[in-house]
Structure 1
Amino acid sequence: MSTERTDHIPSGRARPHPLAPPAWLLRGLRPASAPIPWAAVVRAGIALSAPLAVGFALDEPEYGALVSMGALSGVIGDTADAYRMRILNIAVPQLFGAVGVALGTLVFGHGWFAVGALTLIALVSGMISSIGTVASVSGLLLLLNAVVGAGLPLPRPWWTAPLLLAAGGLFVLLLTLLGWPLRGRQPERAAVAATYRALADALDAAGGPDYDERRRALTQSLNQAYDLILGRRARVHGRSPALVRMLAQLNVVVPLVEAAPAAHLRGRPLPPAIPAAVRDLAEAVEEGRTQAPALELPAPHTPAERALDAALRHAVTVVHLAEPELRTVDDRLGRPAALGVRARRAVRDMMLSGGSWRYGLRLALCIGLAQALVSLVPLERSYWVPLTVTFVLKPDFGSVFSRAVLRALGTAGGLVIAAAVLAEVPRGWWDVPVMAVLAALIPAFSAKGYAFQTAAITPVILLLSDLLNHQGFDLIRPRLVDSLIGCAITLVFGYLLWPESWHSRIGDRLADTVDDAARYVERAFGPAPDPDAAPGAARTARLQARRRIYRDLSGVRSEFQRALTEPPPTGARAAAWWPLVVAVERIVDATTAARVRVNHGAAPPRAEEVSALTADLRGLAECVRTARSPDRLGTAAVRAGDEASVLGPVRQEVAAARGIAAEH
């Protein structure tokens, strides 16, 4: 198998002109091709402008501004699809935000005490952020609102600001839930249908150069659908026939997903009737059709074709069932543990995790320095410096270095908009339509990238700040200076002084994934299952292993793509390792295809061949772990085997991985 099949490597090392900006910066400034979420656009415009209108009507514009600030937090945090997750994503962080602003208000104007309090809050916020998505947003709002409370003269008594901010978040939640009676199960159903469409796209690309990218999109779609369905099933399974049906429809797509790599390795396109049948299944899922169509598929001849044909016919039967039997719906592919169990695990992992403590300490150091600067040094008081530090150091937003630069550029762009608004629009009722327009830009720009999101949020915060401290156009210059100071603090004390910024562990992460691939081969072709085990236990364990390794591969790819946005040496090292990431994905695909062929008539490999292949993979993992760069891997030969064996393509992919490493 040729070793020339590699994805485009977005290394960012070459520039068309010596004075051209670096590629990592251009990647951040290039708008993503995501569609505009029009419902979120309308919701944001209403959520931030309506409180202002009420505040002006009651002659309390400061109160309206605080409610709008709470609504802004809700708009930023509303990123989930399913309504139950959206409740968690909006409501839970609002509680942490209310606590944060209360603590900040209590230490307002207290000098060193305020510095110490915000530093401690930053430590807690950073550690909380390592738990998960909802906890990350909660930690962010805890710190952001504490910074706002400690930096702005908010209305008294101390509990006024927390109530108003929470009211803004609850207003966003109310607007979000208006569509629940009409679209209650639509996000889950749409996710299942999207998985079928992603599968059809992958089958369309089978045998061609676009297959790898389509397969990755399919993996992401499948993961998202399972997260939605199983997360909801933890509460309502057994009481919701519709949910049971969606889970059954999702389960039967798994054999089709497994058959796709086998179809791809045939080396030629599939008959158009097969992807068309899968797209018809997607429409049936969305429309709730129960009448199965008459399939007209070509006769299968090879094991791969038989696997695809059998999986497709079974999927057609299950998708069109009106009420699948509960006992036939297997949720062992990822049913979440009870909430209490997950909470205890999260707290234990947070307290014992070195990464959690490192991020918390790094955030605490930068926030402490920023707050000391604005509180004690004779400069204009500003909460914008620690606010900038918080946003730039957010761990799941991307590269710290590139975020600092993009934050500065985005803030500059946002300040241009804010300057025009503050200079030309009179304060008062005109703020309401202006806020509606500016707020609507937040979800639209957020879908395009971090710099665009910053440019949209900046004028909104400045306009709300002006309603609280009445500085008008005089806000513009200090905020730009504050942003640059915050970015500088983050770059020096949150990036340059930390060894992990310069000595990335991406090679270790890749080596762990190669080890996982070796274990996946063992799981797929290991010894016969225990005859006393439950029926289907071996297959379920193998499917769990397949889902786990594909999830891990998605995480590794995301981590490498994040590292590619770093300056040298991290970005250059990630670019050098990138072809091996692609090679490992293909090794896993080839293993899945081999297992599918064995399931449908191909001869299983000998135990000695399986052992030799796993030893080769572990040897490759050890080389990756000990080599500082791919060119030190060497060109150790892969053990020879029977070329007619189903593991032949897997051995070829392992050899290709060695070849790619040697060439880069």
Structure 2
Amino acid sequence: MPRPFSVALPPWLTHALRAQRGPVPWNAVVRGALAAGPLLLAAVLAGRESIGVMAALGAMLAGINDRPGSRRTAVHRIGVPGLAGAAGLVVGTYAGEGLGAVPLTLILTALGLVAGAVSAVGPVSSGAGTQLLVAAAIGAGMPLPEPGWQRALFFLAGAAWLIALRLVLPTPGALAHDFRFDGERVAVADVYDAIAELLAAAGGEQAGARRAALTAALDHAQDALAGPRLRRYASSSAERRLRAQYAAALPLAEAATALAWAGDALPARTAEGPRRLAVAVRTGEPCGPLPAPARSVPGLRALDDALLHAAETFDRGGKQTGSRRIDGEKTRSDNADDKRGAAPRSDVDAAPHSDTGTNPLDRGARQTAHKGLRLRPFRTKALFRTVTGQGGREYGFRVALCYGASAAVAQALHHVHWYWLPATAVFLVKPDLGPLVSRVLNRAAGTVLGALVFAGFAAVLPRPEGLVALVAISGALIPVATRHFAAQTAVVTVLVLALVMVGGEPEASWSRIGETLLACAIVLIVGHLPTPGQRGGNVRARLDAATDAAHAYLTHVLSGADDRAARWALRREAYRKLAEARAAIDRAAAELPTLARHTEGTDEVAATLERLVDTTTASAVHLDDTGRLTPRHTERLATLLDELVEQRERAGLADPPADLLSA
């Protein structure tokens, strides 16, 4: 029988066709419908269409950053870019009014250099850099009667309105509990589910993917709980309970990673305990008896202890549980079988644990919880190194060149909407937003589709009420459209063109298409030009940061320190840095071959670092249990360190720290 004909698509095309999956975020859809549209309607009824355009623009850009997560995380994720956009409006407006074309282009280019370098820090900084540059171009080119400070004020009002909706409106299905913490609750429950999936996949081919999924869940929960009010003295019992439940998941995740590293399949009941804990987090109900795994190896003994500690944590934080509480007259082992429905243990396993106050597992979790989960402290020096480092310099240079070139070309063409060209270039050139060619293809396709759809609606809709309704519908579609860049571009194009017409300018669908295609051409050309220094700076900087984090984690484990909270924090940082490096490598690999070749071999370095951190985790668990490492652990660590040196050399990376190699 002949084989079916199939063609392997190149990575840059595969990425362009890829879309995110998942349920429709109906709560975000409702917020989108209530954001830009009502603000614009209120301004139209008041006869101040121009301020409505600014407020709706702020709400639209805030809606793009309105992603799933906790409410307090959303304040930071939406608010910081909103402030940056307001600053961009002020700078752009006054520069556009007082400067000629050449000095204005130089100012915008310098702004692009700074915003691009800052964007290398992380997602929130990248969003702030994007809004800063987009708003600066709009302020310099959009003819509105208000001065710069008023434009910025109404832009901020639009972003603040969406933040208010995010804080006030409950998520559907979350009214049974304190709905303010629904995002945190879901994030912590997902961690326990990811632990269960990793335990179920141990010994199989999916173990590596499940460990990566656990890292993503822990990162998401850590961010969700790191809001401004989650500090040492929490403001409610719900906050304290969620923080303690997250801290209790850290030793479980550590034990599950060690068991997956061992490579042995586990009984199905091993994953049942974390699954019941996940349900308890979501529902607020007691977790009930938790099945205890056989305590035959160090990893299973660590998992058993972590399950017992988690059950006690849920018991202390719950309203009422189905099992006895721990009191001062009983040791933890006295209640262990009652708590988890375990079979009787051997005399060795039945030895009493130390009390809750001195047990290292409990003490480490308490320290982690009481520190407010500030596992990634704000470090000015580290931030400055990122901005001025290799990744920040390359990022800033690329953004500044594309932004400045597009602003110069646009002003030379003397087009009434010249600000569209540099604003479009910003969305295309940002390396952290996706591969360059993928974004260019999707941007072009989405703009053409959106412009054609708007032209059809503009021909039949009444004005301005029909355009306001179109803005509200587009705002509601943004949370769904963000799953694919072409879809997002189409929806945003419709919304922006509607705003332009409400502001009193003529219909501009065809000029929008032309200027977008011109911006795509500029970005493609500039993006593939040779630059000073070594290319792939962002990937290399991420890998160096991951290597440093792995070094700190390994050094702490081998030192024999008994600080569990510090070890878990270092482990979290190592896996987070690895995830960031892996994401940057995957984006670089989806570029055209002329750019992708600059990061060849970096995926092997990341894979070796992941195995090194996994082995370090397994070593930590074994050291806790026996106080010494087996030859398997030491030989594996030595082999991985040797491989790391060779692979970094082949990839053109600097040698790892000398003390890492001597560890």
Shorter-chain TM-score range: 0.7 to 0.9
In the superposition, relative to structure 1, how do residues 165 and 528 fare at CA in structure 2: closer, same or farther (>3 Å)? closer
Local SS of the residue matching 2:367: coil
Bigger mean CA offset, 275-284 vs 511-520: 511-520
Where does residue 423 of structure 2 map in the other structure?
387
Where does residue 294 of structure 1 map in the other structure?
289
User: Is residue 144–residue 390 contact of structure 1 (8 Å, CA) maintained in 2?
Assistant: yes
Q: Letter of the aligned partner of 2:129 in structure 1?
A: G
Query: What is the distance in 1 between the residues matched to 2:157 and 2:536?
Result: 45
Query: What is the distance in 2 between the residues matched to 1:382 and 1:142?
Result: 17
Local SS of the residue matching 1:281: helix
In the superposition, relative to structure 1, how do residues 37 and 269 fare at CA in structure 2: closer, same or farther (>3 Å)? same
Query: What is the distance in 1 between the residues matched to 2:231 and 2:545?
Result: 34
CA offset at residue 514 of structure 1? 6.3
User: Is residue 120–residue 392 contact of structure 2 (8 Å, CA) maintained in 1?
Assistant: yes
Query: What is the distance in 2 between the residues matched to 1:496 and 1:85?
Result: 38
The 5-angstrom pairing of residues 225-304 of structure 1 reads: 225-232=221-228, 235=231, 237=233, 240-264=236-260, 267=263, 269-289=265-285, 291=286, 293-297=288-292, 299-304=294-299
Where does residue 219 of structure 1 map in the other structure?
215
- The C-alpha deviation readout for 1:314-344, integer Å capped at 9, x for no partner, is 22122221389998711289867799x9374
User: Is residue 256–residue 311 contact of structure 1 (8 Å, CA) maintained in 2?
Assistant: yes
Q: 2:477 aligned with 1:441, yes or no?
A: yes
CA offset at residue 350 of structure 1? 6.1
Where does residue 657 of structure 2 map in the other structure?
none
In structure 1, stretches of 5+ residues that fail to align are: 1-14, 530-535, 631-664
Local SS of the residue matching 1:331: helix
Query: What is the distance in 1 between the residues matched to 2:309 and 2:541?
Result: 41
In the superposition, relative to structure 1, how do residues 416 and 197 fare at CA in structure 2: closer, same or farther (>3 Å)? same
Query: What is the distance in 2 between the residues matched to 1:468 and 1:614?
Result: 64
1:476 alignment partner, one of 471, 485, 509: 509
Where does residue 172 of structure 1 map in the other structure?
162
User: Is residue 438–residue 460 contact of structure 1 (8 Å, CA) maintained in 2?
Assistant: yes
Local SS of the residue matching 1:156: coil
Q: 2:81 aligned with 1:113, yes or no?
A: no
The 5-angstrom pairing of residues 420-459 of structure 1 reads: 420-446=456-482, 448-459=483-494
Query: What is the distance in 2 between the residues matched to 1:204 and 1:541?
Result: 28
Bigger mean CA offset, 219-228 vs 105-114: 105-114
Bigger mean CA offset, 496-505 vs 475-484: 496-505
Normalised TM-score (structure 1): 0.81
User: Is residue 195–residue 253 contact of structure 2 (8 Å, CA) maintained in 1?
Assistant: yes
Q: 2:99 aligned with 1:64, yes or no?
A: no
Where does residue 79 of structure 2 map in the other structure?
91
In the superposition, relative to structure 1, how do residues 513 and 46 fare at CA in structure 2: closer, same or farther (>3 Å)? closer
The 5-angstrom pairing of residues 127-206 of structure 1 reads: 127-179=117-169, 182-206=178-202
Query: What is the distance in 2 between the residues matched to 1:91 and 1:115?
Result: 28
User: Is residue 390–residue 541 contact of structure 2 (8 Å, CA) maintained in 1?
Assistant: no
Local SS of the residue matching 1:496: coil
Bigger mean CA offset, 34-43 vs 507-516: 507-516
Where does residue 630 of structure 2 map in the other structure?
605
Query: What is the distance in 1 between the residues matched to 2:538 and 2:499?
Result: 42
User: Is residue 131–residue 346 contact of structure 1 (8 Å, CA) maintained in 2?
Assistant: no
Where does residue 526 of structure 2 map in the other structure?
493
- The C-alpha deviation readout for 1:183-240, integer Å capped at 9, x for no partner, is 2222222211111111112122222222211111111111221233244466453554
Q: 2:553 aligned with 1:558, yes or no?
A: no
Query: What is the distance in 1 between the residues matched to 2:296 and 2:222?
Result: 32
In the superposition, relative to structure 1, how do residues 71 and 270 fare at CA in structure 2: closer, same or farther (>3 Å)? same
Local SS of the residue matching 1:32: coil
2:18 alignment partner, one of 18, 30, 50: 30
User: Is residue 167–residue 180 contact of structure 2 (8 Å, CA) maintained in 1?
Assistant: no
User: Is residue 91–residue 170 contact of structure 1 (8 Å, CA) maintained in 2?
Assistant: yes
In the superposition, relative to structure 1, how do residues 319 and 500 fare at CA in structure 2: closer, same or farther (>3 Å)? farther
Q: Letter of the aligned partner of 1:117 in structure 2?
A: I
CA offset at residue 431 of structure 1? 1.6
Where does residue 462 of structure 1 map in the other structure?
497
Where does residue 641 of structure 2 map in the other structure?
618
CA offset at residue 252 of structure 1? 2.0
- The C-alpha deviation readout for 1:30-74, integer Å capped at 9, x for no partner, is 221132211111111121211232233233433322321121122
Where does residue 208 of structure 1 map in the other structure?
204
CA offset at residue 426 of structure 1? 3.4
Local SS of the residue matching 2:80: helix
CA offset at residue 281 of structure 1? 0.9
CA offset at residue 614 of structure 1? 4.7
- The C-alpha deviation readout for 1:362-395, integer Å capped at 9, x for no partner, is 3223222222222234556521110111111224
CA offset at residue 357 of structure 1? 3.8
Query: What is the distance in 2 between the residues matched to 1:221 and 1:267?
Result: 22
- The C-alpha deviation readout for 1:460-491, integer Å capped at 9, x for no partner, is 1111112224322xx12221121121122222
In the superposition, relative to structure 1, how do residues 201 and 65 fare at CA in structure 2: closer, same or farther (>3 Å)? same
In the superposition, relative to structure 1, how do residues 264 and 528 fare at CA in structure 2: closer, same or farther (>3 Å)? closer
Normalised TM-score (structure 2): 0.81
Bigger mean CA offset, 449-458 vs 303-312: 303-312
In the superposition, relative to structure 1, how do residues 336 and 591 fare at CA in structure 2: closer, same or farther (>3 Å)? closer
- The C-alpha deviation readout for 1:272-302, integer Å capped at 9, x for no partner, is 323222111112223333x562344454333
Q: Letter of the aligned partner of 2:407 in structure 1?
A: Q
In the superposition, relative to structure 1, how do residues 87 and 506 fare at CA in structure 2: closer, same or farther (>3 Å)? closer
Q: Letter of the aligned partner of 1:488 in structure 2?
A: A
In the superposition, relative to structure 1, how do residues 445 and 70 fare at CA in structure 2: closer, same or farther (>3 Å)? same
The 5-angstrom pairing of residues 554-593 of structure 1 reads: 554-571=579-596, 578=603, 581-593=606-618
2:67 alignment partner, one of 79, 83, 92: 79
Q: Letter of the aligned partner of 1:307 in structure 2?
A: A
Q: Letter of the aligned partner of 2:642 in structure 1?
A: G
In the superposition, relative to structure 1, how do residues 310 and 331 fare at CA in structure 2: closer, same or farther (>3 Å)? closer
The 5-angstrom pairing of residues 361-400 of structure 1 reads: 361-378=397-414, 381-400=417-436
RMSD: 3.5
Query: What is the distance in 1 between the residues matched to 2:489 and 2:614?
Result: 39
Where does residue 642 of structure 1 map in the other structure?
none
Query: What is the distance in 1 between the residues matched to 2:251 and 2:503?
Result: 58
Where does residue 306 of structure 1 map in the other structure?
301
Q: Letter of the aligned partner of 1:549 in structure 2?
A: A
Where does residue 635 of structure 1 map in the other structure?
none
Q: Letter of the aligned partner of 1:562 in structure 2?
A: R
User: Is residue 510–residue 624 contact of structure 1 (8 Å, CA) maintained in 2?
Assistant: no
In structure 2, stretches of 5+ residues that fail to align are: 319-355, 654-663
Where does residue 368 of structure 2 map in the other structure?
331
Query: What is the distance in 2 between the residues matched to 1:593 and 1:344?
Result: 33
Query: What is the distance in 2 between the residues matched to 1:514 and 1:349?
Result: 16
User: Is residue 72–residue 227 contact of structure 2 (8 Å, CA) maintained in 1?
Assistant: no
CA offset at residue 520 of structure 1? 4.7
User: Is residue 119–residue 125 contact of structure 2 (8 Å, CA) maintained in 1?
Assistant: yes
User: Is residue 375–residue 381 contact of structure 1 (8 Å, CA) maintained in 2?
Assistant: no
2:315 alignment partner, one of 302, 312, 320: 320
In the superposition, relative to structure 1, how do residues 23 and 592 fare at CA in structure 2: closer, same or farther (>3 Å)? same
2:573 alignment partner, one of 524, 548, 561: 548
User: Is residue 608–residue 643 contact of structure 2 (8 Å, CA) maintained in 1?
Assistant: no
Query: What is the distance in 1 between the residues matched to 2:409 and 2:12?
Result: 31
Query: What is the distance in 2 between the residues matched to 1:131 and 1:49?
Result: 33
CA offset at residue 354 of structure 1? 4.5
CA offset at residue 401 of structure 1? 3.5
Query: What is the distance in 2 between the residues matched to 1:502 and 1:441?
Result: 37
Q: Letter of the aligned partner of 2:77 in structure 1?
A: N
Query: What is the distance in 1 between the residues matched to 2:85 and 2:536?
Result: 34
CA offset at residue 131 of structure 1? 4.0
Q: Letter of the aligned partner of 1:245 in structure 2?
A: R
Where does residue 634 of structure 1 map in the other structure?
none
User: Is residue 90–residue 148 contact of structure 2 (8 Å, CA) maintained in 1?
Assistant: yes
